[in-house]
Structure formats: C-alpha cells, structure tokens
Amino acid sequence: MTAAQTPATAAAPLVLGIDFGTSNSAAALIDAQGQLSVVPLDGTRAEMPTAVFFATETHSVLYGAEAMQAYLSGTEGRLLRALKSLLGSALMDEYTAVGDRSMRYFDIVVLFFKELKRRCEAHVGAPLEHAVLGRPVHFVDDNPERDALAQQTLGRAAREAGFTHIAYQFEPIAAALDYEQRITQASRVLVVDIGGGTSDFSLIELDPAHSRRADRSQDVLATTGVHIGGTDFDRLLDLSTVMPLLGYKHLGTGGRPVPNSVFFDLCTWHLIHQAYTRKAMHFARELWTDFADQRLHRRLMAALEGQYGHRLLAEVEKAKIACSISGSDASVEFDFLDPELHPQVSADAMAEAMRGAIEQVVACARECVAKAGLQQVDAVYLTGGSSALRPLVAALRQAMPEATLVEGNRFGGVAAGLAFAGAHGVASA
C-alpha cells in the first residue's frame, strides 16, 4: 500500500499523522525543522481516550479523558467508546439517542475528528489540512467490501472535519517506520501492534539506509491482521469474572442457562448501550422467572438500571492491566453493585479466559512470518497497549524463541510513524 510520492521540502505543508485508535488516539507531525513532534492531545499526555461524552444537563460534549471522567464520576449522559469498531458496519448511518436528541454515529466520529484537529492546531499554532490516517490491516475480517467501506468512512469523517488532503498507511508499517529511526543495522522485524480492537502484524526489512526512501513497498514482506484486541480481552475477562455474578451461565429454573445476549451486550464496549433500550430492559426484567437465584437477577437489574456497563468494563480493564503489570492477583471494584462481593483476577484465570483469543493472535503472527516465506525473524517489535499483556507476551516468546523481543513505544509509535510517512510521502491516497 505504499506509493512513491515526492519527499517533503521545507515549503511543504505540515502533514498530521493521525492514529485513530479503538481505545486511544494520538497525533504527530514532523515540523518545519524536520523534528518529530508528538502532539500532547490530552493535557500533557500524547494519547487521548477515543471517547465522546454527551452530558445531559449541560448539553455539553466532552472528549478524551474529560469524557471518561465525567462518565465515571456519575454525570448523567451518554458515553461512546470504541467508535472505530463501528467503521464499515451499517450502524455508522444509524441514529442513536444522545441526551434529548439523536445523532448519526458517523457524525459523532466527525465531532471527534474535529476536536482532535482543533487540539492539534492549537498546539501547532497553524491550520492543519493534510493528514495521513493510520488503518489496521483489516478493519473487518474476511470481508473486503466492508473493509474498504471502513477506510472510506474514516476518510470521509476526516474530510468532513476539515482535512482536505488525506492519505493512508497501515498501522504496523507506521510503527515500523518509527522503530527504524532508532536502529543502526538492517534487520528483518516482525512488527506486532496489539491495540484495543485489532492485532496487526507486518514483516519488514528495516534498514536505516532506506528510511527516507519514498517507496518502501519492496521492504514490506507480508502483513496480516485479526480483529482481536484489548476490548476483546476485557470482554472475555468480564464474562469469566464479573458477569457470572449477574447471572451469566447461571443454571436457572428447569436447569436451563439464562439467555446470554444481555451479558454479551453489557461487556462489549460498543454495544453496551443496546442493553439499556426500553425493549432490552423489558426483556431483562421478565427474565426473573428464569433465575433460580434471585440475587443474581437483582444485581443484573441494578447494573442495567444504573447503566453501569461501561463502569464495570472499565473496572475489569483496570484489573486486567494491574494483573498484567504485576503478575499477581488484582481485584475488580464492585462496591457500587454489591459491597459484599470482591471479584478477583488471578494471572492463571486471566490467561485461561483469554487463551483462545491469544492463540488466534499468535497464529496470525506466525501466518505473517510464513507469508513472507521465512522460518524466523531477527526481532519482534511490540507496540500497542495490549502488547504488554503478560500471557500474550509469553505466548509470542514461546512461538518465536529465536527472535529478540523489543518493547517499543506503546502508545505514540504509530502516530510518530504516520507523521514520518506524511513527511516523506510513504503513504497512499
């Protein structure tokens, strides 16, 4: 997907590299002096949660960390997360209730892009109209039409937000371009970008001597990707740790398990809102006859009536990260639903809950190496927040014992690489 274009000159316009992520977004550019500048999008932080919050009372719209804070502190309103997961789906053109009005999901993505553009322009002090947008290897697995539609929709949103010149680059290639700035020898590297929504791989011949070439297509030996990321790990952990306390897999009256769709909605970031519709609430209320243990049903209804889905999932995510960093047990805050329960996440239970998903991710990494016609690689470069997930790192190490594992810039690397791609024309229109 790389295409030769003319390299940047001093008079060339600034090109913003935008990593619109499922969980976090980041932006960077190469300034007129040729220096990489990662934009502090959220206060001093480079990355900004990809989150939009519509506050009901004040009619205000909040973005990023502010959106998360408002939601988590109980401000009344509607939180939207994982908007990237909707690209390429029919939902993009549907309207959804936000406070007392309704809006198209697509227009909410446009709002997010406008805010990101505004923050970047405030930082740079100049209008920014050129952008290189990162894209996963597959927005949608096994569906080229929907995948193409997802990229088109992303571009349309950026255009409506005011970007007039738009190019695209694969996220793992961008990560590789960034890593290449720091190596001194040529090497064959498997770039592993495991984010919130997708796991993307690219096998690249990196060579500092080639780094300013406009066309790097010859050096990209293979790319693969699978639609599994941190939000799936959160879902799996939520299903195994917390949802059973609300009745998931509960064998109810008559020995039948309670219907499970409400639990799947509650633990899938971009579907949570569906659990709160009038119809879904009515269905959930009527489920009481299926429950042998009414305490579970009461907890389920408390979670739905209090609209605690995002909060629960955020607490599960927190425990996932804590357990991943420490390797020991972490507790999931649950007091707001039942102060007597203290769900725990152990390293073993976490690895077990995620085993199938981790196997799929590792299989996709192997497929990338095989597609390149190689037996082994020199290094595995890890980027993306979920690349720190302990059981996943262990599985990758086991799958590629000969390679050096390099921990990269987890949150800003893709944006930095996109900025590099923008400045040197390593992107396609």
Ligand X SMILES: Nc1ncnc2c1ncn2[C@@H]1O[C@H](COP(=O)(O)OP(=O)(O)OP(=O)(O)O)[C@@H](O)[C@H]1O
Chain residues binding Mg ion by CB under 5 A are: 21, 195
User: How many H-runs (helices) and E-runs (strands) does the chain carry?
Assistant: 12, 18
Residue nearest to Mg ion (CB): 195
Q: Which of ligand X, Mg ion, none interacts with 230 (beta carbon under 5 to 8 A by kind)? A: ligand X
Pick between residue 269 and residue 420 the one whose CB is nearest to ligand X. Answer: 269
Q: Is 354:328 a contact under the CB 8 Å cutoff?
A: no
* Smallest distance from ligand X to CB 55, Å: 23
Could you say which DSSP state residue 211 is in?
Answer: T
Q: Which of Mg ion, ligand X, none interacts with 229 (beta carbon under 5 to 8 A by kind)? A: ligand X
Q: Count of alpha carbons within 13 Å of 262, Cβ hemisphere only?
A: 28
Pick between residue 231 and residue 240 the one whose CB is nearest to Mg ion. Answer: 231
Pick between residue 70 and residue 132 the one whose CB is nearest to Mg ion. Answer: 132
Buried b (16+ CB within 10 A) or exposed e, 352-382: ebbeebbeebbebbeebbeebeeeebbbbbb
* Smallest distance from Mg ion to CB 66, Å: 21
Q: Which of Mg ion, ligand X, none interacts with 248 (beta carbon under 5 to 8 A by kind)? A: none
Q: Which of ligand X, Mg ion, none interacts with 389 (beta carbon under 5 to 8 A by kind)? A: ligand X
Pick between residue 77 and residue 408 the one whose CB is nearest to Mg ion. Answer: 408
Nearest CA to 124 out of 221, 38, 23 is that of 38
Pick between residue 88 and residue 195 the one whose CB is nearest to Mg ion. Answer: 195
Radius of gyration of the chain (CA): 22
* Smallest distance from ligand X to CB 59, Å: 28
Which helix (H) or strand (E) element contains residue 98?
strand 95-98
> Tokens representing 46?
């480079």
* Smallest distance from Mg ion to CB 245, Å: 31
Q: Which of Mg ion, ligand X, none interacts with 88 (beta carbon under 5 to 8 A by kind)? A: none
Q: Which of ligand X, Mg ion, none interacts with 311 (beta carbon under 5 to 8 A by kind)? A: none
* Smallest distance from ligand X to CB 421, Å: 16
Q: Which of Mg ion, ligand X, none interacts with 198 (beta carbon under 5 to 8 A by kind)? A: ligand X
Nearest CA to 334 out of 349, 354, 351, 313 is that of 313
Pick between residue 119 and residue 250 the one whose CB is nearest to ligand X. Answer: 119
Pick between residue 230 and residue 343 the one whose CB is nearest to ligand X. Answer: 230
Q: Residue 161 and residue 86: Cα distance in Å, rounded?
A: 18
Distances 308 to 49, 298, 317 between C-alpha atoms, Å: 19, 14, 14
Q: Residue 321 and residue 334: Cα distance in Å, rounded?
A: 17
Residue 254 burial (10 A CB sphere; 0-12, 13-18, 19+): exposed
Angle at 269 between CA 267 and CA 275, to 5 degrees: 60
Could you say which DSSP state residue 118 is in?
Answer: H
Q: Which of Mg ion, ligand X, none interacts with 325 (beta carbon under 5 to 8 A by kind)? A: ligand X
* Smallest distance from Mg ion to CB 172, Å: 9
Residue nearest to ligand X (CB): 230
* Smallest distance from Mg ion to CB 171, Å: 6
Q: Which parts of this chain interact with ligand X (CB under 6 A)? A: 21-24, 84, 171, 195-198, 229-231, 317, 320-321, 324-325, 384-386, 388-389, 411
End-to-end CA distance of the chain: 9
Q: Which of ligand X, Mg ion, none interacts with 84 (beta carbon under 5 to 8 A by kind)? A: ligand X
Pick between residue 106 and residue 291 the one whose CB is nearest to ligand X. Answer: 106
* Smallest distance from ligand X to CB 123, Å: 20
Pick between residue 385 and residue 425 the one whose CB is nearest to ligand X. Answer: 385
Q: Is 132:18 a contact under the CB 8 Å cutoff?
A: yes
Distances 118 to 11, 124, 126, 228, 429 between C-alpha atoms, Å: 23, 10, 10, 31, 23
Pick between residue 321 and residue 399 the one whose CB is nearest to ligand X. Answer: 321
Distances 315 to 242, 297, 322 between C-alpha atoms, Å: 10, 21, 11
* Smallest distance from ligand X to CB 76, Å: 26
Pick between residue 64 and residue 195 the one whose CB is nearest to Mg ion. Answer: 195
* Smallest distance from ligand X to CB 120, Å: 17
- Cross-sheet strand order for the sheet of 379-383: 220-226, 199-206, 187-194, 379-383, 404-407
* Smallest distance from ligand X to CB 39, Å: 15
Q: Residue 113 and residue 18: Cα distance in Å, rounded?
A: 10
- Give the distance, in angstroms, between the CA of residue 305 and the centroid of all CA atoms in the same chain: 27
